[in-house]
Amino acid sequence: MHPIVKYAFIATAACGAAFLAGSAAMADSTVNISLEDQGAAKEMPMGLGMNMGGKMSMATMSVKLDKDTVPAGKVTFNVLNASKDMIHELIVGHLTDPAKQLPYVASDAKVDEEGSDHLGEVSELDPGKSGALILTLEPGTYVLYCNVANHYMAGMWTLLTVK
């Protein structure tokens, strides 16, 4: 092979490899989520909101992720309400300070969605139903929670890290 052609071939291959590496870094991610509870008959503990010092082992509700870290970029949240008898929803919010509590309105028994940097949601899902949400996320920490009355305080929240 002629030296100039050989150099052009190597340079083209290197550019292609760099492009593929860059594409992988920007790849879309999917997070599969299960919204779970121990049933409507189970008494719900309170005070289990984020950074409230509650004993999370007492939680009767949860947001379970198949992964807790994803790369920055487009993220698809596939959400299943795994409950047999309760409606749940999923809200995604960005945390500027993961050590702080979310703004909570006790009279409504809900998180103040506007005050919690609400980015999007899968609205109320009946038991056994599913939904999806697609967001483009920057690096940081995000909270995923159910904001049906009392569910957040019963431990129905989790964190997602975006790198």
Residue in 150, 161, 137, 81 with CA at minimum distance from that of residue 111: 150
Residue boundaries of the structural domains of the chain: 28-162
The answer to whether residues 61 and 146 touch, using CB atoms and an 8 Å cutoff, is: yes
Q: What is the pLDDT of residues 33-89, one digit of tens each?
A: 999 999 999 999 999 999 999 999 999 999 999 999 999 999 999 999 999 999 999
Share of the chain above pLDDT 70, in %: 83
Question: May I ask the CATH class of domain 28-162?
Answer: mainly beta
| pTM score | 0.82
